[in-house]
Amino acid sequence: MSAEIAEVQLQVRFITKQEQYAVPDSPYAIQSNVQSSDLNTLINALLKETNPSIEKTVEFDFLTCGELLCTSLAEHLQDKGVSTEDTLEIEYLERFPAPAPQDCLMHDDWVSTVHAHSNWILSGCYDNSIHIWSTKGQHKLAIPGHTSPVKAVSWVSFNGDQAVFASGSHDQSAMLWVWNVTRNSVDCVVTCRGHEKGVECLAVSADGNRFATGSWDNNVCLWSTSLSDEDNVPAKKRSKPELGNTREPLTILKGHREAVSGVQWMDFNTVLSSGWDHLLKLWDCELGGLKQEVAGNKAFFDVDWSPLNNSMITASADRHIRLYDPRSTDSIVKTTFTSHTGWVQSVRWSKTRDTLFLSAGYDGQVKLWETRSPRTPLYDLSGHEDKVLCCDWSNPALLVSGSSDNTLRIFKAKHYEST
């Protein structure tokens, strides 16, 4: 970087959406080689002048040219190709503290899948069991039933005292379960059979009426979540003892050439799937056909979709996380996030904030990201001692992650509650 860029004087204007921290919007002259810490000192000094009621020092992040400032301002501007002669707008926002470790929940084997909702957490394990936990770390139930590792779990619905959830396993089946919360008893009501190899992933539609499964047989299957068989394809006669009625898929979506690693519902008629064949596919559930296909350059291990920002994020074998905008007419990869040192196994968007997501990887790390900071995660959530296989948000203030170190970890992030 040339010396004259580093020492230029800049005219800047500070803006914020957090009105309690607003400072006068007149331009200020600053040196271009300042860092975030220098800007923090300046904003706090201005706040003390204009708003003496703020007694504590507030930590801020700074957003300019669409990205959080992680280097000196001069480097940031040079990287973005922005002139130092124009008045620069710098937005500042309160920096949240790191999520704090809350609980470490022990399992008897690898924790392969987790889904959190409200006060409850489901986890699936390589010892074929499913577990229900409270978000305060209380173990409610260990549930046998599958005959191979459980690779996917999801809550379907909560209705008073009754909760319904689904599970998928390498035993080639998915199951629908009913949990009576007061009695703390669980029944498998339906066993779903239609895959010829293990079930790897599962997602429930927003209205709770259907769920999708992805499998090592390269197919995506759609199923009804109804607990009765009246509104389903006829239940097959039992040829062998099964848990509950046996159900066949409503639709089988064929097109992936290798294992399906992730499924998500984008709307009531569109399912998104990721595969080891380097492809993302958007399916029309009504027609049972393909809407759109996106080719990646490595195997995809997971995908998540956010209705808040209409974007997809993917976990991949090349250590990178990519953000895709499926509506884009030019480059469909909008941003690449690089910090993991091993395979990225799981990615999950925040349910309440459109710029935050979690990632979990084989490097033992869980990372909390801000989409406007692609080079550096906001925080590394350490604690796991081996590969992290799954992560999720409990809406919206708890982060959960499961690992091959046999633990499920809960992190408290109360500052992320506001939208």
**268-295 per-position pLDDT tens digit:** 999 999 999 999 999 999 999 999 999 9
pLDDT at 242: 58
* Sequence-separated (6 or more) residues with CB below 8 Å from residue 373: 67, 68, 70
* Residue 302 dihedral angles phi and psi, to the nearest 5°: -165, 160
In the chain, where the domains are located: 3-94, 100-416
Please, which pLDDT band fits residue 51 given cuts at 50, 70 and 90?
A: confident
Q: What is the pLDDT of residues 171-191, one digit of tens each?
A: 999 999 999 999 999 999 999
Mean pLDDT of all residues in 81-108: 92
Mean pLDDT, range 186-210, rounded to an integer: 97
> Under a CB-based contact definition with an 8 Å cutoff, are residues 202 and 192 in contact?
no
Please say if the pLDDT value at position 3 is more than 50: no
> What are the residues whose beta carbons fall under 8 Å from the beta carbon of 237, sequence distance 6 or more?
none
DSSP 238: P
Q: Which residues contact 418 (CB under 8 A, 6 or more apart)?
A: 352
Q: What percent of the chain has pLDDT over 90?
A: 81
Given this model, what pLDDT does residue 55 score? 83
Does the pLDDT of residue 354 top 90, yes or no? Answer: yes
List beta partners, residue 122: 115, 132
Please say if the pLDDT value at position 239 is more than 50: no
Mean pLDDT of 95-115: 94
The answer to whether 115 touches 131, Cβ cutoff 8 Å, is: no
CA angle 116, 411, 264 (to 5 degrees): 35
Classify the C-alpha dihedral 326-268-337-10 as positive or negative. positive
Neighbour-count burial of 142, counting CB atoms closer than 10 A to its CB (0-12 exposed, 13-18 middle, 19+ buried)? middle
pLDDT reading at 116 higher than 50: yes
- What type of residue is 236? K
Query: pTM to 2 decimals?
Result: 0.90
Q: Do domains 3-94 and 100-416 have the same CATH topology?
A: no
Which residue type, as a one-letter code, is found at position 319? Answer: R
Ranges assigned E (strand) in 309-365? 311-316, 320-324, 333-338, 344-349, 356-361
Q: Which of 26-35, 298-307, 406-415 reaches the highest mean pLDDT?
A: 298-307
- Contact yes or no for 112/149 (Cβ under 8 A): yes
Listed in sequence order, the residues at least 6 apart from 231 whose beta carbon sits closer than 8 Å to its beta carbon are 224
pLDDT, residue 54, reads 84
- Six-digit token pair at 2? 């040339």
CATH code for residues 3-94: 3.10.20.90
The 10s digit of each residue's pLDDT in 356-401 is 999 999 999 999 999 999 989 999 998 999 999 999 998 768 999 9
pLDDT of residue 339: 95
CATH number of 100-416: 2.130.10.10
Confidence of residue 6 (pLDDT cuts 50, 70, 90): low
Question: Residue 269 and residue 267: Cα distance in Å, rounded?
Answer: 5
d(CA 215, CA 226): 22
Write down the pLDDT at residue 2.
Answer: 46
At 325-347, the pLDDT tens digits run 988 876 689 999 999 999 999 99
Burial group, residue 228, by CB count within 10 angstroms (0-12, 13-18, 19+): exposed
Of the pLDDT bands very low, low, confident and very high (cuts 50, 70, 90), residue 86 is: confident
